[in-house]
Amino acid sequence: MCSIMGLTTKALQQKDFQEFFDRTISRGPDMSRIIETKTGYLCFHRLAIMGLEESGMQPFAMGDDAVVCNGEIYCFRALKKELSKKYTFKSGSDCEIILPLYREYGLDMFKKLDAEFAMVIYDGESDKYIAARDPIGIRPLFYGYLKADGSIAFASEAKNLVGLVEKVFPFPPGYYYDGQDFVKYRSVTDVKEYSKDDIETVCRKIHDKLELGIRKRLDADAPLGFLLSGGLDSSLVCAVSAKILKKPIKTFAIGMDKDAIDLKYAKEVADYIGSDHTEVIISRDDVIEALETVIASIGTYDITTIRASMGMYLVCKYIHENTDIRVLLTGEISDELFGYKYTDFAPSAEEFQAEAKKRVDELYMYDVLRADRCISVNSLEARVPFGDLDFAEYVMSVDPELKMNKYNKGKYLLRHAFEGDLLPHDILFREKAAFSDAVGHSMVDDLKEYAETVYTDELFEEGCKKYDFATPFTKESLLYRDIFEKYYPGQAEMVKDFWMPNKSWEGCDVNDPSARVLANYGDSGM
């Protein structure tokens, strides 16, 4: 990861905003630089992943134009070859192609990018600032209007802007800001017509497109690592990566010191693919001690996001402190595309598809938010193969009748797509606990019990009255909200709502986001 910031005014001097920018120096601890434009500033904290030499440092400039980008542009080698006929490149950085692309294609350039990115471009000729974010929102970007003069400011994280602006807003994925308006340039969920592919063709394409998405994300000049929970999604990413790289990969699993469901399954996968595997064991005390740090890092009060962030943060902390790894491949976004346990209750194909669209469109507020912040606060970069744009667009276009669980097995299409010798059948078709539960059922129980020690019933009732938006409804949710407000006062609307199953569906009207409370949880993760 890297950290960027763009100020479109000189009403503030560098000394006035330096502290705000440095709040995210952990995203880019290798090198920092701030440049002045005619009318503002572009700021960059670097985590060197591609083009490790100093010539790959940003902001990149071309004449009076300049850019800062937190991203990976997976198509950059082909684009660079095309652009090299006209432009000279000085580094191995993928982001150096951005300004030549802008010169050639203007704002249409964003449609050409096979990338995860957030960027701010300064156009020197027109003296305007352009900002953009990838279609899924894998790389973070926020904006707000400065208290000093009302001008717009952009930053990688909300914490960069708290205190500089009245309200912090997430930059919408798949949009660019053209200096005046926000314009939608691409969506992976707006399906105009469903694919007519039969089930075997669908599965073949799922296999090939995911494998290609993984292959792209193995291209790094910095050391790679892999998060392995033992469930379907991370196991596929690890197994395919090991096959492509033809050497042992470094895998990491985390679990509680008791009832760590995932550890045994992760080891089974690791042994099968021959990875260099590390188990990170945590305790109740580790979880409670890290809670405030995690909420301050991820910038949310959402219950399920925080629960799932505990294990993610602590395993990434271990990796940062004990290894030279800089890049982590993860298994996020599969659930949103193929379905959760609760989507088994979808009453129709149309509603299944609508739910998938909602979940993918809101990813940037939940799972992606968790993965980005937990990883980046530990000076690591996340890569998400299931978020590959071509892969995600295709899965969204598959007839939802095929994606619904009519097979007595969730995510059947994904499982069937990889049947063979890549993974043993019992791993490929195993039902897995939700991530926050799988770290150890006791972890969620520990968090709930800790909240009970913080609030009496009377304090809980009074505490909830403080919040009109996304009002807490349990002592656990109040605890998280109170901690959130300590670091992000008055910014609760950055998150749309609590992540919960679709309460309008029969069997899903529950008051806890854990799949454990659903009637169909069964033997998941046991």
| Pairing state between β 65-73 and 115-123 | antiparallel
Q: Which positions ≥6 away from 158 have C-beta within 8 Å?
A: 142, 168, 299, 488, 491, 494
Catalytic status, residue 2? yes
**pLDDT of the residue at 314:** 96
Query: What is the spatial distance between Cα 286 and Cα 289, in angstroms, rounded to a whole number?
Result: 5
Q: Among the options 2, 42, 95, 161, which is catalytic?
A: 2
Is residue 221's pLDDT more than 90?
Answer: no
Residue 83 CB-half CA count within 13 A: 23
Question: Across the beta sheet with 41-46, what order do the strands follow?
Answer: 31-36, 41-46, 3-7, 152-155, 142-145, 169-170
Cis peptide before 424 (omega within 30 of 0): no
Question: Between these two residues, 144 and 445, which has the higher pLDDT value?
Answer: 144
Domain boundaries, the chain: 3-184, 207-447+496-517
Complete DSSP assignment for 45-105: EE---SS-SGGGPSSEEETTEEEEEEEEETTHHHHHHHHTTT----SS-GGGGHHHHHHHH
| CB distance 235 to 228 below 8 Å | yes
Q: Among the options 24, 70, 300, 405, which is catalytic?
A: 70
E strand segments, 242-397: 250-256, 276-282, 327-329, 381-383
pLDDT digits (tens, 9 = 90+) for 291-341: 999 999 999 999 999 999 999 999 999 999 999 999 999 999 999 999 988
Query: What is the spatial distance between Cα 28 and Cα 114, in angstroms, rounded to a whole number?
Result: 23
Is residue 253's pLDDT more than 60?
Answer: yes
Is residue 180's pLDDT more than 90?
Answer: yes
CA dihedral 492, 493, 495, 499 (to 10 degrees): 90
Q: ∠ at Cα 233 (508, 476), nearest 5°?
A: 45
E strand segments, 124-232: 128-133, 142-145, 152-155, 169-170, 175-177, 182-184, 224-227
The pTM score is: 0.94
Query: What is the spatial distance between Cα 154 and Cα 165, in angstroms, rounded to a whole number?
Result: 11
Closest CA to 187 of 119, 109, 79, 111: 111
Is residue 436's pLDDT more than 70?
Answer: no
Catalytic status, residue 47? yes
Residue 178 CB-half CA count within 13 A: 10
**pLDDT of the residue at 525:** 42
Quickly state the pLDDT bin for 520 (edges 50, 70, 90): low
Query: What is the spatial distance between Cα 35 and Cα 115, in angstroms, rounded to a whole number?
Result: 25
pLDDT digits (tens, 9 = 90+) for 28-86: 888 899 999 999 999 999 988 877 788 889 899 999 999 999 999 998 888 999 999 99
pLDDT digits (tens, 9 = 90+) for 120-134: 999 999 999 999 999
Q: Among the options 51, 71, 137, 410, which is catalytic?
A: 71
Q: Among the options 304, 330, 343, 378, which is catalytic?
A: 304
Q: Which positions ≥6 away from 459 have C-beta within 8 Å?
A: none
Q: Among the options 46, 284, 307, 373, which is catalytic?
A: 307
Q: Which positions ≥6 away from 355 have C-beta within 8 Å?
A: 343, 346, 502
Place of tokens 């990861």: 1
Quickly state the pLDDT bin for 508 (edges 50, 70, 90): confident
Fold of 3-184: Glutamine Phosphoribosylpyrophosphate, subunit 1, domain 1 (3.60.20)
Q: Among the options 47, 95, 101, 316, which is catalytic?
A: 47
Q: Exposure of 497 by Cβ count < 10 A (0-12 exposed, 13-18 middle, 19+ buried)?
A: exposed
Closest CA to 328 of 403, 273, 251, 439: 251
Q: Mean pLDDT over residues 450-470, rounded?
A: 96
Q: Considering the chain, what is the average pLDDT of its residues?
A: 92
Fold of 207-447+496-517: Rossmann fold (3.40.50)
Distances (CA, A) of 196 to 76, 145, 349, 393: 32, 46, 15, 14
Q: How many residues does the chain have?
A: 526
